[in-house]
């Protein structure tokens, strides 16, 4: 049974999941699986800080306070309807007494969904009518799970989804062209596409990234007020949802970026952070911050997996314009990112 997708009837047995609207519960069920513990296996330790909301489905889970048994939670009982030891850091150690089945949900994601649900700001059923069959709500639930979206107020999320417009494409269609003006932010909702960048030595374009359902693109030009730095071409039939430039800046970009002063940036780096310079290599070679690494903005998507998710990055350029675009991409993908206010020219 381990790894089995949940039914919404099972989720409705738990609090506060039973308060979610049915469509939102369905969206959550698609992202949660039943997991299993062997007898005496630890679920978490006292002091753990990972934000996961955990519910026991079957079996008995022992809670140990400084090594002494303080409580036993058995699946199917009233005590199992509520999250296990919900405070962070954990106040107890949790150990399986026998074979235990449980579910684990990202606590921030759950909190956001509950907020949207209870404020009436988000409901999957309101949006599905605008998406063709084949894309479903996968792209929306992927955005829900993006850590950066947790920074955005629920009312903004509602406005973002409601103002998006669906556009259908055929294989080979160009969604956006390098050198054109930036006018929309895009989410791929169906199909696949390829990101390429033309250079003087390669007119056909070098491959920067492959995009699939849930991936976003087009934000760099909107944030930096520059022309498109790459071309996105559909490699299959598909569709996108797009959001206009002004709506993107006001509703999505501004809440997502964390700006820091030079002194705040230095403190982050001195405490284990990392300078990330997104200018061109020639600019970087001319002058840069000590210890900085260089990934040009147009290579961020291609090189992002080389970065460390546990490290804080202070993204910089000469003025702050390109670095804000780079920090947005990092933040959107779950990397702790800050933007140097004013850029390194002011330091």
| Active-site residue list | 317
Residue 290 contacts by C-beta under 8 Å, 6 or more apart in sequence? 275
Q: Residue 300: name the closest of 203, 234, 230, 249 by CA.
A: 230
Q: Tell me the backbone φ, ψ of residue 64, rounded to 5 degrees.
A: -110, 125
CA distance 266 to 274: 10
**CA 313 – CA 258 distance, rounded (Å):** 11
**d(Cα 111, Cα 83) in Å, to the nearest integer?**
13
Q: Which residues contact 267 (CB under 8 A, 6 or more apart)?
A: none
How many helices (H) does the chain have, and how many strands (E)? 13, 20
CA 331 – CA 149 distance, rounded (Å):
9
Task: Find out whether 117 and 158 touch, Cβ atoms under 8 Å.
Answer: no
State the Cα–Cα distance between residues 54 and 142, nearest whole angstrom. 21
Handedness of CA 158, 160, 161, 165 (dihedral sign): positive
Largest separation between any pair of C-alpha atoms in the chain: 69
Residue 99 is encoded by which pair of tokens?
């074979």
What are the DSSP E strand ranges found in 97-173? 100-106, 165-169
- Kindly report whether the peptide bond that precedes residue 16 is cis, defined as omega within 30 degrees of 0: yes
């Amino acid at each position: 049974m381990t790894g089995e997708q949940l039914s919404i009837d099972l989720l409705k047995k738990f609090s506060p999941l039973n308060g979610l609207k049915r469509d939102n519960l369905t969206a959550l069920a698609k992202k949660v699986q039943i997991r299993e513990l062997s007898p005496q296996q630890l679920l978490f330790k006292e002091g753990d800080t990972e934000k996961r909301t955990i519910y026991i489905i079957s079996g008995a889970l022992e809670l140990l306070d400084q090594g002494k048994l303080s409580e036993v939670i058995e699946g199917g009982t009233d005590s199992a309807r509520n999250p296990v030891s919900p405070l962070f850091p954990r106040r107890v150690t949790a150990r399986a007494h026998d074979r235990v089945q449980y579910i684990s949900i990202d606590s921030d994601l759950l909190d956001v969904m509950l907020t949207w649900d209870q404020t009436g700001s988000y409901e999957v059923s309101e949006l599905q009518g605008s998406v063709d069959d084949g894309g479903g709500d996968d792209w929306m639930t992927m955005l829900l799970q993006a850590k950066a979206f947790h920074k955005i107020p629920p009312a903004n999320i509602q406005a973002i989804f409601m103002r998006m417009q669906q556009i259908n494409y055929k294989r080979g269609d160009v969604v956006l062209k390098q050198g054109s003006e930036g006018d929309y932010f895009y989410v791929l909702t169906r199909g696949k596409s390829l990101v390429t960048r033309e250079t003087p030595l390669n007119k056909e374009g070098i491959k920067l990234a492959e995009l699939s359902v849930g991936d976003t693109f087009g934000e760099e030009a909107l944030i930096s007020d520059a022309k498109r730095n790459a071309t996105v071409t559909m490699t299959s039939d598909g569709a996108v949802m797009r959001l206009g430039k002004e709506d993107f800046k006001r509703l999505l970009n501004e809440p997502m970026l964390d700006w820091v002063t030079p002194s705040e940036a230095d403190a982050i780096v001195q405490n284990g952070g990392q300078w990330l310079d997104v200018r061109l290599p020639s600019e970087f070679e001319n002058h840069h911050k000590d210890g900085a690494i260089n990934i040009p903005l147009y290579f961020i998507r291609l090189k992002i997996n080389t970065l460390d998710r546990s490290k804080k990055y202070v993204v910089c350029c000469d003025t702050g314009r390109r670095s804000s675009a780079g920090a947005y991409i990092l933040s959107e993908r779950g990397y702790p990112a800050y933007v140097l206010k004013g850029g390194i020219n002011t330091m």
